[in-house]
């Protein structure tokens, strides 16, 4: 069956003498692997589109039982030139792709990833934390920041974030193993969850990374 799809190239390995195997993140199927035969030969029409970070339109011969689908044609929709040419943006973008490689079994992160790459391409590296926190939410691990995980009362002042509890405990319920967050830090994390782009302090970043590592897996420690 021939299928035309759109996707973002999130990984690449050179294969044999002249081919490329790529991981592409699609809205329809999540992550898929494709092979561009002869894509490393000079003059191959597949050569330019099949590069990491490209948002591409492509045609595959789709066989369900096949692990790697063969690409017939491909063209670039957006190429995110600034991300590729700036070491700082590249590093941040690579961290986003790393996350999608691990959690992108379905296509539900697609518009989040695409919009975040667009923002990053404009030079905004703070977009990473918005992307990360919203990815956690979609994956089903949204830190609970509004109410105490035990007594369910609204947390209006500071509180203790306990990773194994999945969120905040109030001063009355807290016993141990958490990190105290000031009122304004909690408010900042809430705003981030609502989609605001913010600068975080080191404490907040570490907390979010530890939260992700606990709930999603050790691979989160390779982010940044």
* Cα dihedral 211/215/220/224 (nearest 10): -20
Report the residue number, 114 or 170, with the smaller CB distance to Zn ion: 170
Residue listed under structure tokens 């941040």: 92
Q: Which residues are at the interface with Zn ion (CB under 5 A)?
A: 148, 150-151, 170, 173
Nearest to 3 by CA among 105, 71, 78: 71
Residue 175 Cβ vs Zn ion, minimum distance, rounded to whole Å: 11
Q: Is residue 56 left, alpha or beta, with left meaning phi > 0 and alpha meaning psi from -120 to 50?
A: beta
Residue 178 Cβ vs Zn ion, minimum distance, rounded to whole Å: 12
Report the residue number, 17 or 172, with the smaller CB distance to Zn ion: 172
CA distance 15 to 176: 51
Report the residue number, 153 or 222, with the smaller CB distance to Zn ion: 153
Report the residue number, 48 or 173, with the smaller CB distance to Zn ion: 173
Task: Give the C-alpha distances (Å, rounded to integers) separating 102 from 13, 168, 216, 223.
Answer: 17, 27, 9, 12
Residue 185 Cβ vs Zn ion, minimum distance, rounded to whole Å: 18
Quickly count: other Cβ atoms within 10 Å of residue 193's Cβ. 17
Residue 153 Cβ vs Zn ion, minimum distance, rounded to whole Å: 5
């Amino acid at each position: 069956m021939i299928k035309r799809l759109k996707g973002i190239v999130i990984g690449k390995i050179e294969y044999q003498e002249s081919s490329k195997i790529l991981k592409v993140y699609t809205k329809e199927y999540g992550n898929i692997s494709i092979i561009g035969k002869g894509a490393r030969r000079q003059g191959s029409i597949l050569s330019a589109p099949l590069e990491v970070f490209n948002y591409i339109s492509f045609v595959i011969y789709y066989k369900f039982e096949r692990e790697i689908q063969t690409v017939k044609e491909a063209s670039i929709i957006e190429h995110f030139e600034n991300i590729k040419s700036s070491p700082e943006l590249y590093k941040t973008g690579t961290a986003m792709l790393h996350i999608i490689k691990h959690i992108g079994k379905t296509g539900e992160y697609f518009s989040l990833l695409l919009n975040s790459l667009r923002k990053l391409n404009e030079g905004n590296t703070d977009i990473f934390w918005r992307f990360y926190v919203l990815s956690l939410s979609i994956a089903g691990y949204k830190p609970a920041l509004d109410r105490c995980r035990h007594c369910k009362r609204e947390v209006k002042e500071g509180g203790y974030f306990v990773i194994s509890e999945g969120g905040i405990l109030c001063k009355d319920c807290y016993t141990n193993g958490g990190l105290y967050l000031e009122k304004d830090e909690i408010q900042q994390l809430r705003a981030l969850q609502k989609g605001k782009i913010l600068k975080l302090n080191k404490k907040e970043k570490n907390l979010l990374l530890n939260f992700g590592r606990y709930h999603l897996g050790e691979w989160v420690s390779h982010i940044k």
